[in-house]
Amino acid sequence: MRHLISAAEISHDEAVHILDTAESMAATQGRSIKKLPTLRGQTVVNLFFEDSTRTRISFEAAAKRLSADVINFSAKGSSVSKGESLKDTALTLQAMGIDGVVIRHHDSGAPHRLAHAGWINVPVLNAGDGTHQHPTQALLDAFTLRRQLHAAAGTVADDAGPASEGTDLDGAHVAIVGDVLHSRVARSNIQLLHTLGARVSVVSPPTLLPVGMESWPCEVSYDLDAVLAEGPDAVMMLRVQRERMGGGEAGSRGSFFPSPHEYHRRYGLDEARLARLLAHTPRAVVMHPGPMNRGLEISSSAADSPRSTIVQQVANGVAVRMAVLYLLLAGDEGIS
C-alpha cells in the first residue's frame, strides 16, 4: 500500500500490522526519549482544506516525533482563496520537494485524486474527505478498542500498555450510533471493524441513514435501547453534523429527525442509558471521535464517565498516525 485513502483498502493483516506498529510507537511515548530519528530529513505537508483540531495536531505531533519537518497548509489564508485548484496546489508543493502529504478536504474523493492523478509522486494520507472516509480515525478507534478488550481480558495492566500484539477484534460487538448519513467516521469504522472480525450494529434515525446500506457489512436498527440491551462491547456515538445538513439551522432541510430534543431523547447516550448498558456489560466503553455536541448525541455524564475512552482516542491518534507515517514513508515496503 503506497497511500492510505480508505479503510476499505486495508486488509486484515495490514490492519493488524498497523495496530502492532502503533503499539511500538506508543511504547516509545511513555519513555523519556519521545523523539525517534526515523523520518529525519523528510518533509510532511499537512494540507487542510477543512477545519480540524485533533487530526491536524496529532498528524503534526506524529510527524515531529518521527523527526520529520512539517509544513502546515491551511486553505484559509492560502492562494486557494484566490481560486487556485487542488492540482496547482499539489504541483506547487511537489516543486518544493516534499516526502508525504496528509490531506483533509471537504470533497469526497479529493485524496484519491491527489494520490492517483500524477500531480505528485509521494504517499498521500487521507485525514478525512467529505462524507467518504477517515481511515486513521478508524485505525485509532480499533487501536483503542483492542487495548480496552485486552485490559478487560487481563492481558494488559492499564492503558499505558504494552498490550499483547497480534490479536484483532474477532467477536467484539460495536454499536455505531447517530448521524451515519454524513459520517466518514462511520463508513471507515464499519469497514475496518468488519475486516478485523467485529460485529457492527448501526443505530440511526431512518432520515440519517444513507441509501444502499443493505450492502454494508453491518446490521441496522432504529432502536438504540434494543441494541444496548444486547450488551455491545463499545458504543460509538457519532457527531450530528448540522453543518452538512444545508441551510444552516438543524432541521431546515427536513433531514434532521425530528428535533434536537427528540433526537437526544431517542438516540442520545445519557446517564440512564449508560447505566443500563454497564449493568449488562460492565466492560463496555463509550467512544466518540470528537468534536462532540454535548447534550445532543451524548450527555456530559456519559462523555466524562470512567467508561469513556474519548480522551484516550485522542492520545492514541498520535501513536497510530506515527505508525502510518512510518510505514508509508520510512521504506520501500509500505504497509504490508
Question: What is the C-alpha separation between 158 and 188, in angstroms, rounded?
Answer: 27
**Residues 136-175: x where in contact with ligand CP by CB under 6 A, - otherwise, as a string:** -x--------------------------------------
User: What is the closest distance, in whole angstroms, from the C-beta atom of residue 280 to ligand CP in the complex?
Assistant: 28
3-state secondary structure 170-218: CCCEEEEECCCCCCHHHHHHHHHHHHCCCEEEEECCHHHCCCCHHHCCC
Residue 53 binding ligand CP, by CB under 6 A: yes
Q: Which is nearer to ligand CP, 246 or 291 (CB)?
A: 291
Q: What is the DSSP letter of 271?
A: H
Residue 283 binding ligand CP, by CB under 6 A: no
User: What is the closest distance, in whole angstroms, from the C-beta atom of residue 261 to ligand CP in the complex?
Assistant: 25
Residue 320's Cβ-count burial label (10 Å; 0-12, 13-18, 19+) is: buried
Q: Is 41 annotated as a binding residue?
A: no
Task: Say if CB 241 and CB 183 are below 8 A apart.
Answer: yes
Prior bond to 135 cis, omega within 30? no
User: What is the closest distance, in whole angstroms, from the C-beta atom of residue 68 to ligand CP in the complex?
Assistant: 19
Prior bond to 210 cis, omega within 30? no
Interacting positions 76-95 with ligand CP (CB under 6 A): none
Q: Is 64 annotated as a binding residue?
A: no
Q: Which is nearer to ligand CP, 241 or 281 (CB)?
A: 241
Residue 54 binding ligand CP, by CB under 6 A: yes
Q: Which is nearer to ligand CP, 186 or 328 (CB)?
A: 186
Q: Is 104 annotated as a binding residue?
A: yes
Residue 108 binding ligand CP, by CB under 6 A: no
Question: What is the C-alpha separation between 293 and 291, in angstroms, rounded?
Answer: 7
User: What is the closest distance, in whole angstroms, from the C-beta atom of residue 194 to ligand CP in the complex?
Assistant: 20
User: 183: Cβ–Cβ under 8 A, 6 or more apart, which residues?
Assistant: 131, 238, 239, 241
- Measured from each CB, the residue nearest to ligand CP is 55
> Taking the mean position of all CA atoms in its chain, how far away is CA 127?
8
Q: Is 137 annotated as a binding residue?
A: yes
Q: Which is nearer to ligand CP, 262 or 304 (CB)?
A: 304
Range in contact with ligand CP (rule: CB under 6 A) among 51-59, 69-77, 150-158, 171-179: 51-59
Residue 289 binding ligand CP, by CB under 6 A: yes
Question: What is the C-alpha separation between 104 and 332, in angstroms, rounded?
Answer: 25
**Residues 112-131: x where in contact with ligand CP by CB under 6 A, - otherwise, as a string:** ----------------x---
Question: What is the C-alpha separation between 27 and 317, in angstroms, rounded?
Answer: 14
Residue 191 binding ligand CP, by CB under 6 A: no
User: What is the closest distance, in whole angstroms, from the C-beta atom of residue 241 to ligand CP in the complex?
Assistant: 11
Residue 258 binding ligand CP, by CB under 6 A: no
Question: What is the C-alpha separation between 89 and 301, in angstroms, rounded?
Answer: 44
Q: Is 42 annotated as a binding residue?
A: no
Task: Say if CB 101 and CB 329 are below 8 A apart.
Answer: no
Question: What is the C-alpha separation between 241 and 36, in angstroms, rounded?
Answer: 37
- Report the candidate in 142, 137, 141, 128 with the shortest Cα–Cα distance to residue 182: 128
Q: Is 195 annotated as a binding residue?
A: no
User: What is the closest distance, in whole angstroms, from the C-beta atom of residue 102 to ligand CP in the complex?
Assistant: 11
Residue 291 binding ligand CP, by CB under 6 A: yes
| CA within 13 Å, CB half, 311 | 8
Residue 178 binding ligand CP, by CB under 6 A: no
Task: State the residues that interact with ligand CP by CB under 6 A.
Answer: 52-55, 128, 137, 289-291
Binding site for L-aspartate: residue ranges? 82, 184, 239
